[in-house]
Amino acid sequence: MYTVFKGSYTGVIIKEELTIPELQQDEVLVKITHSGLCATDELFRNDPVALGHEGNTKISIGAGHAIALGPDVRTVEIGDAVAFGLQHSSCGSCAQCLSGNDNYCPLRRLQGFDDPDLGSFSTHAIVKASFLFRIEGPMDLRHAAPLICAGATVFGPMCVYDVRPEHRVGIIGFGGLGHLAVQFAAKVGCEVVVFSRTDAKKKEAMEMGATEFVVTQIERSLEILEGRKRGIDHLFLTSSVLVDDWDFLLNLLNPGGAVHLLTASPGSDLVMPYTTIVRQGLKIQGSLIAPRHAVRKMLDFALWHSIRPVVQEWPMTIEGITEAMETLKLGKVRYRAVLVNDT
């Protein structure tokens, strides 16, 4: 038996005990030690599905059951530290999979949308070996889970859309995604400009690698920024708060610049100044997590450059999950919430 924490139609977190099934050829049974928590998990709080999509695990013996490998598994071994994210599988044979864009496979399976018993708010999970990522080197396991979600979300488009050291990168928001985006972009070698509604996080942003911090509530006038520095090449939206100053922000982009939309904001329409986009040849680019090759590169890059999320921990219990989700909803998490399994 193993424990899974799920949402419910009332929004109350429930605990469900499940029987461990027989493993299929390419499946791995893993014992979860840590799980990240982010705003996406709130989307499924009112659905009876397993919560969590950023799990860190140690393949070992746990809960009285031998943690096992399916007969065809060759990429991980008993004792390996691994992590898994939002996506659980893809078809492997479509144009998207064959071109390295498996995150856009039409048959992909995602936490919350598919596999209702598979989530990282659990004591154990059964995951396809091809969607497990080995954690190499001295990385702290409590950092690996947030990286597999937030780290992949911000680094994926930097990798796929060729962000280079000579580029100037803007980051809208300095929270769970934003504080990692700053670190990755700075280590790539970019100038990094953070846009935030207040200056409360300015000191931390600058310490993590930002070269400029713009308080948008004060510095909305284009004249204030005129002549300060060259424009922005890539602008990453990392805030879950609806942006209402696109006219100001898009006018800061260089011709041919790109806006990368990284957060899920269901029910929110995107309203942008049409003429500015056409006149400057701008690109509006959506991005869903990252393809597996980019996730692997992100983990290696984070290890090499000592990029780590700033985390707050809660126990993986009904009470701990509820408190963590409420703290996140209030915007008081600095900067990633992590649930810890003591079993």
Asked which of 15-19, 48-52, 147-151, 167-171 is least confident by mean pLDDT, the reply is: 48-52
For residues 126 and 17, membership in a common domain is answered with: yes
For residues 61 and 102, membership in a common domain is answered with: yes
Q: Does residue 9 lie within any of the structural domains?
A: yes
Among residues 15, 19, 12, 32, the alpha carbon closest in space to that of 85 is found at 32
For residues 111 and 184, membership in a common domain is answered with: no
Position 61 pLDDT exceeds 70? no
Which residue would you say has higher pLDDT here, 313 or 247? 313
For residues 102 and 196, membership in a common domain is answered with: no
Pair 108, 87: CB distance under 8 Å = yes
Among residues 92, 81, 198, the alpha carbon closest in space to that of 138 is found at 81
Reading the block at residue 115, the tokens are 């596999």
Percent of the chain whose predicted confidence (pLDDT) is above 70? 92
Average pLDDT along the chain? 90
pLDDT of residue 139: 87
For residues 157 and 136, membership in a common domain is answered with: no
Q: Does residue 209 lie within any of the structural domains?
A: yes
Kindly provide the b/e burial profile for residues 299-313, where b requires at least 16 CB atoms within 10 angstroms of the residue's own CB: bebbbeeebbbbbee
Position 67 pLDDT exceeds 70? no
For residues 319 and 276, membership in a common domain is answered with: no
Q: List the CATH number of the domain containing 224.
A: 3.40.50.720
233-246 pLDDT, tens digit each: 999 999 987 788 89
pLDDT of residue 220: 63
- 99-107: long-range contacts (C-beta < 8 A, 24 or more apart)? 100/291, 100/293, 101/291, 102/291, 102/292, 103/156, 103/288, 103/289, 103/290, 103/291, 103/292, 104/288
Nearby residues of 149 by Cβ (< 8 Å), 6 or more positions away: 36, 38, 40, 53, 54, 85, 86, 289
Q: Does residue 300 lie within any of the structural domains?
A: no
pLDDT of residue 222: 54
Q: Does residue 148 lie within any of the structural domains?
A: no
Reading the block at residue 2, the tokens are 């193993």
Q: List the CATH number of the domain containing 123.
A: 3.90.180.10
For residues 6 and 134, membership in a common domain is answered with: yes
Residue type, 342: D
Q: Does residue 301 lie within any of the structural domains?
A: no
User: Number of C-alpha atoms within 13 angstroms, CB side, residue 147?
Assistant: 28
304-334 pLDDT, tens digit each: 999 999 999 999 999 999 999 999 999 999 9
For residues 237 and 121, membership in a common domain is answered with: no
Q: Does residue 107 lie within any of the structural domains?
A: yes
For residues 178 and 120, membership in a common domain is answered with: no
Pair 163, 186: CB distance under 8 Å = no
Kindly provide the b/e burial profile for residues 29-39, where b requires at least 16 CB atoms within 10 angstroms of the residue's own CB: bbbbbbbbbbb
Count of residues for the chain?
343
Average pLDDT over residues 137-151: 90
For residues 132 and 247, membership in a common domain is answered with: no
Reading the block at residue 114, the tokens are 């598919």
Position 343 pLDDT exceeds 80? no
Element (H, E) at 192: strand 191-196
For residues 46 and 113, membership in a common domain is answered with: yes
What is the domain range of residue 220? Answer: 153-286
Position 83 pLDDT exceeds 80? yes
164-211 pLDDT, tens digit each: 999 999 999 999 999 999 999 999 999 999 999 999 999 999 999 999
User: How many C-beta neighbours within 10 Å does residue 151 have?
Assistant: 31
For residues 189 and 259, membership in a common domain is answered with: yes
Give the predicted TM-score (pTM) of the model: 0.93
User: Number of C-alpha atoms within 13 angstroms, CB side, residue 175?
Assistant: 21
Q: Does residue 329 lie within any of the structural domains?
A: yes
Number of domains in the chain: 2
Q: Does residue 145 lie within any of the structural domains?
A: no
pLDDT of residue 57: 64
Average pLDDT over residues 44-51: 92
Position 66 pLDDT exceeds 90? no
> Phi-psi region for residue 183, left (φ > 0), alpha (ψ -120 to 50) or beta?
alpha
Percent of the chain whose predicted confidence (pLDDT) is above 90? 70
SS3 content of the chain, % helix, strand, coil (to 5): 25, 25, 45
pLDDT of residue 305: 97
Banded pLDDT at 58 (limits 50, 70, 90)? low
Beta partners for residue 170, in sequence order: 193, 235
